[in-house]
Structure 1
Amino acid sequence: MRYVSTRGAAAALGFEDVVLAGLARDGGLYVPESWPAIAPDELRRWESLSYADVAVEVMRPFVDGISEDDFAAIVHETYAVPGVFHQAAVTPLRQLDAGEWLLELFHGPTLAFKDVALQLLGRLFEHILKKRGERITVVGATSGDTGSAAIEACRDRENVTIFMLHPHGRVSEVQRRQMTSVPSANVYNIAVQGTFDDCQALVKAMFNDHAFRDRLNLAAVNSINWARVLAQVVYYFQASLALGGHDGRRIDFSVPTGNFGDVFAGYVASRMGAPVNKLIVATNVNDILSRALRSGDYSRGTVQPTISPSMDIQVSSNFERLLFDLYGGDGARIAALMDDFAATGRLAIGNGQVTDASRLFAATRIDEDETRATIAHVLRHNATLIDPHTAVGVAAGRKLRTGPEVPLVSLATAHPAKFPDAVQAASGIYPGLPPHLADLLTRPERYEILPNDLKSVQDHIGALTQ
């Protein structure tokens, strides 16, 4: 399997190089040259497998440079039972109602879906770097959950130094402390005086500064890194298998999303042959993705802070991967579109591409009142406490699901204890942290507050990696 850039000008790479590269040198994102197809009889064989075994089967066609035995060992170490995750199923399904389920993705060490992919990515980094005798500097941006999951995956790994940028004052206290209370010597946190989009732009600018990138051997943990997306493909297959997908039953998935990574993983699963009926793209009031998929209006607005802060995004990096497919793999066309978007903040998607996307995707915007009402309703009628991001997904799924004959799976992306104040305000219940994080709010913190300025951030990172 080879990987090409969505902007068409960077060299094609193998899997190991893509894992370490993150962003392509032409500013694009790496995607596979082709999508492997999983035959229906293979799905029937997978129905009785463990999560780790399904993960090996799903990801194996995308991996080269790592032996089959080594890759299987890495995957099994990541998803071993007992192990890193606190549920034997890793991503268990919880039934809410007739034909309606939550896919719980928050049973990892930092209580968010990002653990599912980043625990694997940290081990891939370690394996590849040890084999090559290299070290890397990981630089990432977070709207709340990626940061703690990436830090947890990279902490204390001898060939990795990690710098995580988060928007100052725009993540929950639990999210911040999960990052800033980690005492490991290879972990650094930067609070940027700006939005998540500003943090993401700084990271992309650092990768596009090739001299800086090469001097520090930068690597990415955000979902611009293909391995992040790949690991998330697995739970779409696993959930489908649990609900009869191996016998042809098709499933609607509702995905709360800001950066389009998690829902793009669902798209990949569909392209491979998973029985996905509809992917429902659920946004909060920062609705660039909803507008783009409904009307072709991909235009950047002002980020509005919400009670679902991990989705407070107006530039959705992974959407470029979908555009690349919708425009037939025309890298030059995507490069021109993204250059125009960078210059003007607007991108008009063609009517034909919008129509093609609508065959799989539906999208809607959920406002703050709807989010709070959904938290309260799910507790009252389904005896389940959910976080605000999950509530966005549940609300959108209930609006746009195909019908009661098609199972609806909403992705539960975070534990409610990550957003206790918002959950309490909506439900009257203050969700407590699990035992392994019980003392989180009293742990000492360590981070730097920096301006939204590329030179300041680069100088800070450069000084600490000399």
Structure 2
Amino acid sequence: MRYISTRGEAPALGFEDVLLTGLASDGGLYVPESLPHFSLEEIRSWRGLSYSELAFRVMHPFVDDAIPADDFRAMLEETYDVFAHQAVAPLVQLDTNEWVLELFRGPTLAFKDFALQLLGRLLDYVLEKRKQHVVIMGATSGDTGSAAIEGCRRCEHVDIFILHPYQRVSEVQRRQMTTVLGDNIHNIAVKGNFDDCQRMVKESFGDQSFLGGKTQLAAVNSINWARIMAQIVYYFQASLALGGPDRSMAFSVPTGNFGDIFAGYLAKKMGLPISQLVIATNRNDILHRFMSGNRYEQHKLEHTLSPSMDIMVSSNFERLLFDLHGRDGAAVKSLLENASKGPVSIEDYRWRHARKLFDSDAVDDKTTCDTIREIYEQNEYLLDPHTAIGVRAARNCRRDNAIPMITLGTAHPAKFPDAIAESGLSVEPQLPPHMADLFEREERYTVLDNDVQGVQDFIARHWKNA
């Protein structure tokens, strides 16, 4: 399996190099040169498999011979054994043919655990094999940071630097990152927003000279292909649980950076019958404005009750644009260069092709709270604000009531008590036992100005062998 850049100029790489590289040298994102495709008969034969075995069947073609099959299978079993539910990703029914796929049963209570628990193990395996040390640099709008730290903190060959927007993540999200203390763990609160943090990461990957040639950066954000690869699996798992592949499914995905829903798009291309993918966003609605009106234009980023989606520069959208443009890297590069200067659109026939699968909706804070309250009153089931946006968007955009609609439940409601309180409910979401003392733990983080040079200087001074 080889991987190519969405901008067409970087050399093709194997799985190990893509795992460690993050951004391609031309600024693009890596995607497989070709996708595996599974027949309906093969998918049907996977019914009843454990989550880890299903993950092996779906992901092994992407890893190919980079990791022996037995080692990869054992790694997956270890990864998903730490989840708090035997099903790993259980389904909960809300109404007739309407479901929530609970993706928050991992150690940090967010869907990011599915990929980042695996990513830490993949990095450890490859770096031990190569006797190499790397510096992980990542940006988080709330959940990636804690999942990355939890997944990678035991890795012997990494230092971890996670950037989060200062005072723009929930307190639970912040404490999940900043209370994991270790010599190789560094949390940086940037006086800016998530897009500022993400920009710094991309700039740093583009020019790593601040590390003095002594090490290299590795990515944990969803620009890393391994993140996308791991998220494809639960689309197959949910479909198989509800009668797939003999019936089609629809999914509603709360998304800001487009990685989680891009995984659903890939699942369809790999042979899973999916009739509809709903892009569910908040007021930071650049993806909705594009999908509903073919206009990609950045607005000012707003702070909302769903902070993990407070993103305006949607990195993984580039991967979809690459496919929509017939995998023409030059066309994608030109389009994104123009997008940095003002609004852009794509050819109408390309946009209409995307609309055959994708719908979208933008949900404001009031409607988010109304949805949390409504679902609780109907089912005594508590949604976090991101999942609530997914449920509302699913109901607003649903094309066919006969097709199961599955909303991805991306985070535990206890991570967002302010949104629950604002919904008017008297119920207080409780953290699970392993986090019961979260507010009593010591915190450690550094506040830095919104300046890439200052952040790079901090990393250069503090990584283990600096």
Bin of the TM-score, shorter chain as denominator length:
over 0.9
Report what 1:246 is aligned to: 245
Cα distance in structure 2, aligned partners of 1:49 and 1:256? 27
Cα distance in structure 1, aligned partners of 2:342 and 2:199? 13
| Stretch of structure 1 that moved more, 213-222 or 361-370 | 213-222
Report what 1:142 is aligned to: 140
Measure how far apart 1:425 and its partner are: 2.0
Measure how far apart 1:428 and its partner are: 2.4
Cα distance in structure 1, aligned partners of 2:9 and 2:169? 36
Q: Aligned pair 1:288/2:286, yes or no?
A: yes
* Secondary structure, aligned partner of 2:84: coil
Contact 2:92 2:100 (8 Å CA) reproduced: yes
Contact 1:283 1:289 (8 Å CA) reproduced: yes
Cα distance in structure 2, aligned partners of 1:389 and 1:423? 12
Contact 2:136 2:159 (8 Å CA) reproduced: yes
Report what 1:32 is aligned to: 32
Cα distance in structure 2, aligned partners of 1:120 and 1:345? 38
Report what 1:77 is aligned to: 78
Q: Specify which of 288, 298, 314 is matched with residue 296 of structure 2.
A: 298
Q: Aligned pair 1:231/2:230, yes or no?
A: yes
Report what 2:305 is aligned to: 307
| One-letter code aligned to 2:77 | H
Report what 2:113 is aligned to: 115
Q: Specify which of 377, 389, 397 is matched with residue 394 of structure 2.
A: 397
Equivalence map 1:33-52=2 (5 Å) = 33-52=33-52
Cα distance in structure 2, aligned partners of 1:38 and 1:355? 26
Report what 1:349 is aligned to: 346
Report what 2:174 is aligned to: 176
Equivalence map 1:60-209=2 (5 Å) = 60-64=60-64, 65-80=66-81, 84-209=82-207
Q: Residue 216 and residue 340 in structure 1: after superposition, are their counterparts in 2 closer, same or farther (change >3 A)?
A: farther
Measure how far apart 1:76 and its partner are: 1.3
| One-letter code aligned to 1:28 | G
Cα distance in structure 2, aligned partners of 1:171 and 1:242? 34
Q: Aligned pair 1:376/2:381, yes or no?
A: no
Report what 2:16 is aligned to: 16
Measure how far apart 1:71 and its partner are: 1.1
TM-score, normalising length from structure 1? 0.98
Cα distance in structure 2, aligned partners of 1:212 and 1:273? 44
Report what 1:211 is aligned to: 209
Measure how far apart 1:336 and its partner are: 1.2
Structure 2 unpaired stretches of 5+: none
Cα distance in structure 2, aligned partners of 1:50 and 1:177? 33
Report what 1:334 is aligned to: 332
Question: After superposition, what is the alpha-carbon deviation per residue over 1:199-241, rounded to whole angstroms, capped at 9, x for unaligned?
Answer: 0000000001143465431000000000000000000000000
Report what 1:458 is aligned to: 456
| One-letter code aligned to 2:390 | G
| Stretch of structure 1 that moved more, 169-178 or 212-221 | 212-221
* Secondary structure, aligned partner of 1:63: helix
Q: What is the Cα-based RMSD across aligned positions, in Å?
A: 1.0
Cα distance in structure 2, aligned partners of 1:240 and 1:66? 28
Cα distance in structure 1, aligned partners of 2:323 and 2:426? 45
| One-letter code aligned to 1:410 | T
Report what 1:58 is aligned to: 58
| Stretch of structure 1 that moved more, 316-325 or 287-296 | 287-296
Contact 1:156 1:184 (8 Å CA) reproduced: no
Contact 2:208 2:216 (8 Å CA) reproduced: no
Contact 2:208 2:217 (8 Å CA) reproduced: no
Cα distance in structure 2, aligned partners of 1:210 and 1:436? 38
Q: Aligned pair 1:266/2:264, yes or no?
A: yes
Cα distance in structure 2, aligned partners of 1:113 and 1:345? 33
Contact 2:210 2:457 (8 Å CA) reproduced: no
Contact 1:424 1:431 (8 Å CA) reproduced: no
Contact 1:421 1:430 (8 Å CA) reproduced: no
Q: Residue 345 and residue 220 in structure 1: after superposition, are their counterparts in 2 closer, same or farther (change >3 A)?
A: farther
Report what 2:419 is aligned to: 422
| One-letter code aligned to 2:231 | Q
Cα distance in structure 2, aligned partners of 1:363 and 1:448? 37
Measure how far apart 1:345 and its partner are: 4.1
Cα distance in structure 1, aligned partners of 2:193 and 2:372? 26
| One-letter code aligned to 2:75 | I
| One-letter code aligned to 2:76 | V
Q: Aligned pair 1:444/2:442, yes or no?
A: yes
| One-letter code aligned to 2:410 | T
Cα distance in structure 2, aligned partners of 1:114 and 1:272? 22
Contact 1:283 1:392 (8 Å CA) reproduced: yes
| One-letter code aligned to 2:195 | D
Measure how far apart 1:385 and its partner are: 0.4
Cα distance in structure 2, aligned partners of 1:185 and 1:210? 22
Measure how far apart 1:403 and its partner are: 2.4
Cα distance in structure 1, aligned partners of 2:121 and 2:403? 37
Cα distance in structure 2, aligned partners of 1:328 and 1:271? 14
Report what 2:385 is aligned to: 388
Q: Aligned pair 1:366/2:363, yes or no?
A: yes
Q: Specify which of 317, 320, 329 is matched with residue 318 of structure 2.
A: 320
| One-letter code aligned to 1:449 | V
Cα distance in structure 1, aligned partners of 2:347 and 2:209? 37
Contact 1:55 1:231 (8 Å CA) reproduced: yes
| One-letter code aligned to 1:202 | M
Measure how far apart 1:189 and its partner are: 0.3
